[in-house]
Amino acid sequence: MKKTPNKQKWKTMIIIIGVLFFISWFLAAVISAFSGEEKTFGNVALIPIKGTITTGSEDFFSGYTTSSSRIVDKIEQAENDNSIKAVIFEIDSGGGGPVASEEIARAIERLNKTTVAWIREMGASGAYWAAASTDRIFASKVSIVGSIGVLSSGLEFSRFLEEHNITHIRLVGGEYKDIGSPLKEMTYSEKQLLQKKIDLTHEYFLNDVARLRNLNESTKEEVGTAMIYIGMEAINFGLVDEIGSKADVVFYLEKKLNTTVNVKSYADKKSFLDVLEKLVSAQGFQMGRGMANFLNEKNNLMST
Amino acid sequence: MEFDFSKGKVLKQDASIFKRLFAFILDILIINIVIISPFQKVFLKLINPNSSILEMAQQLQGASSLYSSIFFIVLLSLAYFTFFEFKLLQTPGMMIFKMKVDQELSFGKAILRNLFIIPIFPFYILWVIDPIHLLFRKRRFLEEITNTRTIEEIYY
């Protein structure tokens, strides 16, 4: 068995300990950086509502979206957490699907705790519906608020098909089965029908906002045009309660709850592995795109 | 037991249980300073220092950075024991108490000897098996598997 001289032993020991310490320090710094503002304690929950509101799940290809199911889950979590006395909804969204938006609005209304909407750049359409369900709305002077309306539009390719001698063969069981299909020209009666559905949805949305915000008839009519307002205008219509930042929201809650506020974020935390997964997905996608472009170019060269 | 009369009188025998225990405690203290303490800032972000122990435990539940930290702490602790035994046949704690592994180790054997560090099934079963085996057979279960021993050299 080889004998290592003492000096050599100590040197090796110091090197190993030094390397382990450096690696620990580095990993701790990386993990700390990725955990960001993650706090697991607090008496006020902060739930972000950002991006397009949908009923679907969030994934790499869906862009920046918020799933209504996830928001409702977080609201229920906050409801069941006895240490949480109030909930702040940090809103930065232009709205989304009507069902998804209503799900969030109802969940907020059902929540038996003080709720505050803090609108950042935008709290419009379905996102405003969620904000309207809270007890108090804060926005910046130049936040975009309102757009209390419904939008449903699409492209129609019937003439394109005609110009290119392509025939669309229509076989349906039920006259309105393919209503809204881009392959055929929409008839006047179909337009009327769809418009009626949109009007109904709009009326439902507007009435609910008017109820939640105690809007009088003339204000309701005005905001029902789906106009957008900036914060300092919106306050005159009763769409916003107060102009302020997060500090103002916290100050308001401290007065209301009569205690110091510690905000606990309920945002989805991206771990190091999540970021790595997204990077690998993005790389895979770009590689596939590059290969497809290359093959396309090759095909074009061969055919000319 | 080996007698080596040629180089000043050295008695090599299986290390006593108490020496092994104290050496292990010393190693854990070193691991605490070298490996665990850099992660303190990660843990402090997650808990309210004014909470009770139970509240702190609740605060830590579901914190993803906690699980990442634990994973790396375990990996580095395993590296600590493995590299010291592989390179020097002894950890710093064993060095202080004049103990060492009785033979040159391959890297695989060095890892195998220290698998008890991993706190998941089935490795945490070793927390019971290893000490019991040590009590009755004077060597740990993992030492039996790797056919190694931890010895102490007594000079007289």
User: What is the domain range of residue B100?
Assistant: 2-106+149-155
- Residue A89 φ/ψ region, left for φ over 0, alpha for ψ in the -120 to 50 degree band, beta for the rest: beta
Give ipTM to 2 decimals.
0.85
Rg (CA), chain A: 27
Residue B118 lies in a domain: no
- Residue A214 φ/ψ region, left for φ over 0, alpha for ψ in the -120 to 50 degree band, beta for the rest: left
- Report the half-sphere exposure of A171 (CA within 13 A, side-chain side): 1
- CA B29, B31, B32, B37 dihedral sign is positive
A167-204: pLDDT as tens digits: 888 888 998 898 888 888 888 999 999 999 999 999 99
Residue B126 lies in a domain: no
Domain edges within chain A: 41-147+227-289, 149-218
**Residue pair B84/B105 in contact by the 8 Å Cβ criterion:** no
Residue B61 lies in a domain: yes
Instruction: Indicate if A147 belongs to the active site.
Output: no
Residue B113 lies in a domain: no
Answer whether CATH 3.40.50.300 is correct for domain A41-147+227-289: no
Residue B101 lies in a domain: yes
Arithmetic mean of pLDDT, B12-20: 90
- Report the half-sphere exposure of B118 (CA within 13 A, side-chain side): 13
- Mean residue pLDDT across chain A: 88
Cβ–Cβ of B65/A21 closer than 8 Å? no
Residue B114 lies in a domain: no
Nearest to A40 among B39, B63, B84 (CB): B63
From the CA of B132, how many Å to the nearest CA of chain A? 29
Provide the chain A residues 204-263 that lie in CB contact (below 8 A) with chain B.
262
Q: Measured between beta carbons, which residues in chain B are less than 8 angstroms from residue A264?
A: none
Cβ–Cβ of B48/A41 closer than 8 Å? yes
Model pTM score: 0.63
A82-100: pLDDT as tens digits: 889 999 999 999 999 999 9
Residue B122 lies in a domain: no
Instruction: Indicate if A113 belongs to the active site.
Output: no
Nearest to B88 among A13, A27, A269 (CB): A13
Q: Does the pLDDT of residue A6 top 90, yes or no?
A: no
- Residue of A2, A27, A43 best to disrupt the B interface, most CBs of B under 10 A: A27
Distance, in Å, from the CA atom of A244 to the CA atom of A239, rounded to the nearest integer, reads 14
Q: Measured between beta carbons, which residues in chain B are less than 8 angstroms from residue A272?
A: 68
- Residue of A3, A17, A266 best to disrupt the B interface, most CBs of B under 10 A: A17
And the tokens for A303? Answer: 């055919």
How many domains does chain B contain in total? 1
Residue B54 lies in a domain: yes
pLDDT of residue B154: 77
